[in-house]
Amino acid sequence: MKTVTVKLGGKNYLAAQLTISGFSDVTRIVAAMNQAGRDRDLSKVNGLLRELTEIACNSIRRAGSKITVEELCEIAQPEEIAEAVGILIHLENSSGFRAVNQRIN
């Protein structure tokens, strides 16, 4: 399993790369958020943001953390969640990931 560091609520967390279903969910959620934004449906945007938070949390938990979705919702700003999910998507095939047990100097 490969991991990358994401910053949420001022803390760095290791996050495992997205699963195939996680990646699919992110693409579906982003499209739905864009539409909800055009429709000015803030409650739908907030619900979809919660789903993105759950995906980020699952990724962080797969890397070994015990953090919960509720904790992430309390500490992380929406921009941080979006950035973390963006990192997980855009670094999927890059060398930015490292093996979980790999040491960093």
Instruction: Tokens for 16, please give them.
Output: 């495992």
Is the Cβ–Cβ distance between 48 and 78 less than 8 Å? Answer: no
pLDDT, position 56: 96
> Per residue in 89-102, pLDDT tens?
876 555 444 444 54
Intervals of the chain under pLDDT 50: 95-100, 102-105
CA nearest neighbour of 54 among 37, 80, 72: 72
Element holding 78 (H helix, E strand): helix 78-90
How are strands ordered across the β-sheet holding 11-16? 11-16, 2-8, 98-99
Rg (CA), the chain: 14
Residue-averaged pLDDT of the chain: 88
